[in-house]
Amino acid sequence: MAKACDQVWITGIGLISSLGEGAALHWNKLCGAGTLRPVIDPQRFAPYTVHPLADIDFSKQIPRTSDQRQMERWQRIGVYAAGLALADADIAGDQELLEKTHLCIAAGNGERDIALDSRILAGNHADGAQGAYLNQNLATGLRPTLYLGQLSNLLAGNISIVHKATGSSRTFKGEEMAGASAVADAVNRIEAGQGEVFLVGGALNAEREDVLLGCELAGSLYSGPHHSVWQRRPQGGGLVPGSVGAFLVLEAAEHARRRGVVPYARISGIVSDRSRRRVGEASSVAASLFKDLRLNPANEDIGVLSGASGVEPATSEELQFLAELERQKFKPVVRAWGSALGHSLEAHFFAGLALASLAVSNDAFYPPFDAFEDKGDAKSHPDRVLVTTFGHWRGEALALVQSAW
Amino acid sequence: MGSRMLDQKGRPVVVVTGIGLVTSLGVGADLCWSRLTAGHSGVKPITRFPTDGLRSTIAGTVDDFDITPTSAYDLSMAMAEAAASEAIVQARIGSVSRFPGPLIVATPPSELEWPHLDRLHDHDPGGDLTGYQRILANARTGLFADLAKHVRFAAIADRLQERFGTQGEPLSICTACASGATAIQIGLESIRRGDADAALCVGTDATVHPEGLIRFSLLSALSTANEDPKKASRPFSKRRDGFVMAEGAGALVLESYDAAKARGAKILAVVRGCGEKADDYHRTRSSPDGAAMIASIRRALADAGVSPEEIDYVNAHGTSTPENDKMEYLSLHAVLGEHLARTPISSCKSMIGHTLIAAGSVEAVLSVLTLNTGVLPPTINYDEPDPDLPLDVVPNTSRTARVSTVLSNSFGFGGQNVCAVFSGEPA
């Protein structure tokens, strides 16, 4: 197929997190004077800290209570943020446009019924009759619609139902890399003329024990006194999850021009790979991906929004990669948004792209998110921002966000 | 380089050069096909776990792999490896540890199952902890790190990538019961774009465990015809009462026609096109007018550059639920019109059950086998036709026919509709 080679514009952002709601609010809070104070809750899931979602009135984007009832919280977070992005891109309510809006969603599983699980586990010691006991308790205890709150693709399904976006619908899995996969699918299709408008995004409800369990089983959860992502290494590293809904509208530039929409920025590159994570592999894979972005010239500031999770050794590998950029005479000004919002797994990469778009469109960059990060040139206003993600277990991806002009 | 083989829209022609299959009828495409075309059923009483008190106690389980203790991850993995290996060997592509293209794999939910939760809960962490506090305290010890594979969403893709040496970041995808078809669609698009010359597209699902079964049961989706398991899955028949859960995996090696020809590969079929459309009506039901299903079929035909009259056979989604089969008929009728009466349409789920996430992959493989052999697999258990669905379902026994072009349908919860069109090798 001949490449249409159209530019990929970011024309809508929907972002909710522990800091609050909306792209502008995030920009203002993250660029505000003084040191950033992340919103954390160290008590509710002690010894783990989470970034709890700000108070959100879900009915503003999901008016029907019957819809809300059929979703678990991760879906409500996602559907809400998706609605913000569609509204921001001036697509919400436009039936004709929504019908051709393709969904590329990153998702894990939904939420378990923690109370039911706990009840069953507490009583699960009847000798010999364990199977019958389990069957009976599941068959009578599970809410019939709970499964619909758990299926990975039902975040996309609910977005179609609530917001009427129905061009097509694909859900990608694999934690952080699911985000990169979803964005790459959309970008590739736009560039090849296989679609014009895409709603991409993901959501995490960090405030639940089953998410914490998944991270803890993998040895990836941080449980010490709260520190930014760069400063957890002495305690062995680990991620601090944050509730986030992050969505973007990606659009073929020509399509956006036709309907007179002003973009935040454009995605000029998205590359990913998966190393086996032997020592040094993640950083060298990232270095080779960086080459594929063909960034020139060096000797200029480059804003780096790092998706570092705090999990080791991935976070140290990323620092090695960033140090290598300096050796190549780039001047990376690094900000890890996980320190501000928490780590949001499937939603994480989209959040980074959203923050990068805001920086580019505001022609300014963020002050440090913690004491470890260099202030950089105070007048720094990079017109290109590198967004990184090193999966806490696997996968390396880089995206380049640039001014659309 | 000689002239490139392009389709009528100027895109590289994409072909299938290898297929692999695991179903409840056996391991391997040839074995499955011989049993399937003989009208055998792989549905049987569940013996893997106690079924006391369950409304549905039958499934198309795959019991050919020696996996103890079994789990959705381990069995899905084993089946995916077997199917992918078979497809790669048949395609004679790449080398043992290097497949020259990306991996796209459709995988079932990644979750802890009850034996895992029990293990995590049984250990005594000290203190008076209960429920998830107790489980989390145990998880913190690091003693249960072996369970991480069950909750890593790309664990299957990761291992397949390592085993077969596929290129780049592998994709793990879920579009519910259309997932297998989505994997093929993504592979097709990638080769058409010129991003790759080949792609390994796999779908796998082994979620016949108590909670998996009960979840579908609570949605009233499953057949409860437990007394005669082989007769339980009755697509398009009047007394169909739900689908039968099943396990399986399908794998296809896709290649550009030019790359396949250049290395002298045998071409099994052409992937003419795919179409998809999301439904906004309901979480488990399609819009009553079938708009999204109809659109997905139309888009598949349009993408393939094929007219409705050119469809010789439909490999139906045909789950055997009252809802799906009715809507599938309505949608096919809307698109194929009068031609539908002349078009045989069979549901292999009558024999192998519904392989869920894997169904689109499994049925794509079966569509390719239909093209290769000229045999239409039957819809078994078609004893009492549904008068509202006047279809030639190839009732009960297989049939030989000249088949040039096949439509394969996949529909899933969450408004997922994906259709694919396959043809024989271009002359």
Same domain, A312 and A376: yes
The answer on pLDDT for B133 being more than 80 is yes
b/e sequence B375-412, b meaning 16+ C-beta within 10 Å:
bbbbbbbbeeebeebebbbbbeebbeeebebbbbbbbb
Shared domain for A174 and A316, answered yes or no, is: no
Which one-letter amino acid corresponds to residue B405? T
Check whether residue A158 and residue A235 sit in a common domain. yes
Same domain, A277 and A216: no
Chain A closest-CA separation from residue B256 CA (Å):
12
Q: Looking at the structure, do residues B131 and B159 belong to the same domain, yes or no?
A: no
B48 pLDDT band, cuts 50/70/90, is very high
Domain assignment present for residue B385? The answer is: yes
pLDDT of the residue at A379:
58
Q: Cα(B260)–Cα(B257) distance, rounded to whole angstroms? A: 5
Give the position of tokens 């079966």. Answer: B366
State whether A312 and A381 are in the same domain: yes
In this complex, the residue of A3, A213, A276 whose CB is nearest that of residue B135 is A213
Report percent pLDDT > 70 for chain B.
99
Min Cα distance A119 → chain B (Å) is 7
Say yes or no for a CB contact (<8 Å) between B145 and A218: yes
Distance CA B421, CA B300 (A): 7
In this prediction, residues B137-145 reach a mean pLDDT of 97
Q: Of the residues B201, B317, B348, B419, which is catalytic?
A: B317
Q: Which of B156, B169, B411 to mutate to test the interface with A (most CBs of A within 10 A)?
A: B169
Half-sphere exposure of A118 (CA within 13 A, CB side): 13
B196 and B127 fall within a common domain: no
Task: Choose, out of A5, A66, A121, A158, the residue to mutate when testing the contact with B (most B CBs < 10 Å).
Answer: A121
Is B177 part of the annotated catalytic residue set? yes
**CB contact, 8 Å: B51 with chain A?**
yes
- Label residue B309 left, alpha or beta by phi (over 0 means left) and psi (-120 to 50 means alpha): alpha
Per the structure, the complete domain to which residue A187 belongs is given by: 8-113+145-258
A124 falls within a domain: no
- SS3 for A219? coil
Does the active-site annotation cover B339? no
Q: Containing domain of residue B93, as a range?
A: 14-110+152-422
Q: Is residue A277 domain-resident?
A: yes
Cβ atoms of A367 and A375 within 8 Å: the answer is yes
- With a cut of 90, say whether residue B351 has pLDDT above it: yes
Does residue B2 form part of some domain? Answer: no
Instruction: Give the one of B112, B175, B217 whose C-beta lies nearest to A153's C-beta.
Output: B175
The reply to whether B128 and B168 lie within a common domain is no
If asked whether residues B139 and B285 sit together in one domain, one would say no
Taking a C-beta distance cutoff of 8 angstroms, is the pair A98, A164 a contact?
Answer: yes
- What value does the mean pLDDT of chain B take? 97
Does the distance separating the beta carbons of A173 and B172 come in below 8 Å? Answer: yes
Give the DSSP letter string of A139-205: HHHS-TTHHHHH-TTHHHHHHHHHH---SEEEEEESHHHHHHHHHHHHHHHHHTTS-SEEEEEEEE-
Number of domains composing chain A: 2
From A240, A258, A276, give the residue that closes a domain.
A258
What is d(CA A113, CA A134) in angstroms, rounded to the nearest whole number? 14
pLDDT, average across residues B243-267: 98
Rounded CA-CA distance A269/B148 in Å is 32
| Nearest chain B alpha carbon to A167 | B277
Best probe of the A interface among B47, B112, B152, by most A CBs < 10 A, is B152
Asked whether residue A238 falls in the same domain as residue A323, the answer is no
A179, part of any domain:
yes
More confident: A392 or B427: A392
Mapped to the 3 state alphabet, what secondary structure does B227-254 carry? CCHHHCCCCCECCCCCECEECEEEEEEE
Predicted local confidence at residue B425, as pLDDT: 83
Catalytic residue among B116, B209, B333, B354: B354
Query: Which B residues 216-275 touch A at CB under 8 Å?
Result: 216-219
A200 within domain boundaries: yes
Confidence of residue B17 (pLDDT cuts 50, 70, 90): very high
Asked whether residue B280 falls in the same domain as residue B403, the answer is: yes
Residue B318 is predicted with a pLDDT of 98
Residues B243, B345, single domain; the answer is yes
Q: What is the CATH number of the domain that holds B197?
A: 3.40.47.10
- The reply to whether B8 falls in a domain is no
* Closest residue on chain B to A272 (Cα): B169
Residue B45 pLDDT? 98
B126 shares its domain with B271: no
**Residue numbers in chain A where pLDDT is lower than 70:** 1-4, 125-128, 297-299, 377-381
pLDDT, one tens digit per residue, over B409-420 is 999 999 999 999
Nearest to B278 among A168, A210, A395 (CB): A168
In Å, how far is B54's CA from the nearest CA of chain A?
7
Same domain, A221 and A303: no
Cα A282 to Cα B44: distance, rounded to the nearest angstrom: 47
The pLDDT of B316-320, averaged and rounded, is: 98
- Give the nearest partner residue to A147 out of B170, B175, B215, using CB atoms: B215
Chain A CA closest to residue B176? A153
Please give the pLDDT value at position A223.
95
Residue type, A332: P
Q: Final residue of a domain: which of B96, B127, B149?
A: B149
pLDDT category at B76 given cuts 50, 70, 90 is: very high
Final residue of a structural domain among A224, A239, A258 = A258
Q: In this predicted model, what pLDDT tens digit does every residue of A384-395 receive, in sequence order?
A: 999 999 999 999
- Looking at residue A2, what is its pLDDT? 42
Helix ranges restricted to H, A314-366: 314-327, 338-341, 348-362
What is the nearest CA distance from B47 to chain A, expressed in angstroms?
Answer: 12
Same domain, B195 and B278: yes
Please give the pLDDT value at position A34: 74
Same-domain check for residues B127 and B55? no
pLDDT of B211 > 80? The answer is yes
Last residue of a domain, one of A227, A258, A289: A258
Rounded Cα distance, B226 and B212, in Å: 17
Report the residue of A217, A346, A394 to disrupt the B interface, i.e. the one with the largest count of B CBs within 10 Å. Answer: A217
Model confidence at B219: pLDDT above 60: yes
Measured distance CA(B166)–CA(B200) in Å, rounded: 8
pLDDT at B1 over 60: no
Whether the CB-CB separation of B338 and B307 falls below 8 Å is answered with no
Per the annotation, the verdict on B354 as an active-site residue is yes
Same domain, residue pair B263 and B405: yes
Residues A398 and A280 in one domain: yes
Residue A373 is classified by DSSP as: S
Say yes or no: B243 and B124 in one domain: no
A107–B168 C-beta distance less than 8 A: no
The Cα B245–Cα B321 span in angstroms is 12
Between A121, A138, A166, which is nearest B292 by CB? A166
- pLDDT number for residue B201: 99
Question: Is position A213 within any domain?
Answer: yes
Instruction: Name residues whose C-beta falls within 8 Å of residue A114's C-beta, 6 or more positions apart in sequence.
Output: A208, A209, A210, B131, B132
Tell me if B321 is assigned to some domain: yes
Q: What is the CATH number of the domain that holds A26?
A: 3.40.47.10
pLDDT tens track for B158-193: 999 999 999 999 999 999 999 999 999 999 999 999
Of B114, B145, B279, the CB nearest to A166: B279
Q: How far apart are the C-alpha atoms of A190 and A103, rounded to whole Å?
A: 13
Residue A49 lies in a domain: yes
Q: Which of residues 8-37 of B touch A (CB under 8 A)?
A: 9-12
Calpha distance B98→B19 (Å, rounded): 17
Q: Are A106 and A194 contained in the same domain?
A: yes
> CB burial class (10 A; 0-12, 13-18, 19+) of residue A370?
middle
> Is A3 a domain residue?
no
Contacts of A151 in chain B (CB under 8 A): 109, 174, 176, 413-414
Do the chains contact at B50 and A131, CB–CB below 8 Å?
yes
Judge residue A34's burial from the number of C-beta atoms within 10 Å of its C-beta, 0-12 exposed, 13-18 middle, 19 or more buried: exposed
As for how many domains chain B has, the answer is: 2
C-alpha count within 13 angstroms, C-beta hemisphere, residue B47: 4
Q: Residues B143, B33: one domain?
A: no
How far apart are the C-alpha atoms of A139 and A141, rounded to whole Å? 6
Q: Are residues A185 and A73 in the same domain?
A: yes
Q: CB–CB of B172 and A174 under 8 A? A: yes
Catalytic residue among B32, B116, B177, B419: B177
Is residue B7 in some structural domain? no
Q: How far is CA B137 from CA A241, B80, B129, B132, in A?
A: 18, 34, 8, 8
Report whether B245 contacts B353 (CB < 8 A): yes
> Residue B317: what pLDDT?
98
Q: How far is A348 from chain B (nearest CA, A)?
A: 15
The answer to whether residue B211 neighbours chain A at the CB level (below 8 Å) is: yes
SS3 B160: helix
Report whether B84 contacts B183 (CB < 8 A): no
